[in-house]
Amino acid sequence: MTDSPATPRVAQIGAGHWGRNLARNFAQLGALAAICDPHPDTAKREAEANGVPVRSVDDVLQDPGIDGVSIAAPAELHADLALKAFAAGKHVFVEKPLALTLEDSRAMCNAADRAGKTLMVGHLLQYHPAFIRLLELVRGGEIGGVRYAYSNRLSLGKLRIEENALWSFAPHDLSMLLAIMGERPEKVTGGGSSWITPGLEDEYRLDMTFSGGRRAHVFAAWLHPFKEHRLVVVGETGMLVFEDSAAKVEDKLKLYRHSIVWKGKVPEAVKAEPEAIAFPPDEPLKQECRHFLDCCAGKASPRTDGQEAMRVVETLLRAEGRLELAPA
């Protein structure tokens, strides 16, 4: 009888607002080995909560018993931490965005390739079972060819002072939209407004044009009267809506088989009742963490790898006018 392979061991670097959730999930999966955080109180609290020791980043990277690191640090630190981890022979999970520049993003991808290690990025909604089902339906031709899609990621707070609404909110939406469209956009434009912190947009609108005239849009804001996380995909023969902010599970993913008929020279909409689409009741973050462990163990390739994440960073930069043309 062959013993099953051991669960990869992961250290959590950054255990604050979001890192604590990653630490909890890795602990529940039997993979958490240590907590690293520059704030002693935070490190102590999360280490005790998950039954693991507090260790320094250098100590973790030198430990051959730790297979990978999960990074939930400020985005400007992602590249430095990831490059050190790859140099130490570790697999790397890093929260979105991958990095703040295309140069750092490319350096991280190249380092992962040279080390032969996994680079996976936390585009969480790619692991939401409702989005996975939506993507299956789109790719399976359930709504015909995609005409346009849009995503709203809106709420009141949490107000950031280190990044604007585009970089804070939109990576998730861009990751989904680029997966739906299956290619990089031919044109990207965007703009927003700063109302709270000068120079830091509280709302941002991004527009993309793809081959064949297909369009996609993102509206991201933390200065909005209510929470709305909604993705709409309009196809030739139907429409899909993924509303993660819906209170009821049965309202989160719906298919609308609306159609257009011509009466003489006049088009007329024929409305249909929405159909609730079932999907597995899996927790997205748990699935994301489990997928990373499977990648570390050589059982899978990252759904949101470095190349996918670099395309998202590229699109963010193009929206802000900091990258005029996509590199070849």
User: From CA 91, how far away is CA 127, in angstroms rounded?
Assistant: 19
Closest CA to 47 of 33, 58, 68: 33
User: Does 223 reside within a domain?
Assistant: yes
Each residue's pLDDT tens digit, 153-198: 999 988 888 889 999 999 999 999 999 999 999 999 999 999 999 9
User: Does 188 reside within a domain?
Assistant: yes
Rounded to two decimals, the pTM is 0.94
DSSP 8-state secondary structure symbol assigned to residue 305: B
Q: Which domain holds residue 99?
A: 10-124+285-300
User: Does 196 reside within a domain?
Assistant: yes
Each residue's pLDDT tens digit, 74-101: 999 999 999 999 999 999 999 999 999 9
Average pLDDT over residues 239-252: 95
The CATH number that applies at residue 279 is 3.30.360.10
pLDDT reported for residue 56: 97
Number of independent structural domains in the chain: 2
Can you tell me which residue has the tokens 């309202």?
251
User: Does 309 reside within a domain?
Assistant: no
User: Does 245 reside within a domain?
Assistant: yes
Question: Please, are residues 26 and 12 in contact by the beta-carbon 8 Å criterion?
Answer: yes
pLDDT reported for residue 326: 47
Question: Based on the domain organization, do 104 and 242 belong to the same domain?
Answer: no
Question: Based on the domain organization, do 99 and 187 belong to the same domain?
Answer: no
Question: Based on the domain organization, do 176 and 97 belong to the same domain?
Answer: no
Question: Based on the domain organization, do 134 and 115 belong to the same domain?
Answer: no
Question: Based on the domain organization, do 258 and 110 belong to the same domain?
Answer: no
Each residue's pLDDT tens digit, 14-54: 999 899 999 999 999 999 999 999 999 999 999 999 999 99
The CATH number that applies at residue 38 is 3.40.50.720
Question: Based on the domain organization, do 118 and 141 belong to the same domain?
Answer: no
Question: Based on the domain organization, do 58 and 181 belong to the same domain?
Answer: no
Question: Based on the domain organization, do 17 and 143 belong to the same domain?
Answer: no
Question: Based on the domain organization, do 109 and 234 belong to the same domain?
Answer: no
Question: Please, are residues 133 and 256 in contact by the beta-carbon 8 Å criterion?
Answer: no
User: Does 259 reside within a domain?
Assistant: yes
Question: Based on the domain organization, do 263 and 156 belong to the same domain?
Answer: yes
Question: Based on the domain organization, do 26 and 111 belong to the same domain?
Answer: yes
Average pLDDT, the chain: 95
User: Does 35 reside within a domain?
Assistant: yes
Question: Based on the domain organization, do 90 and 188 belong to the same domain?
Answer: no
pLDDT reported for residue 328: 43
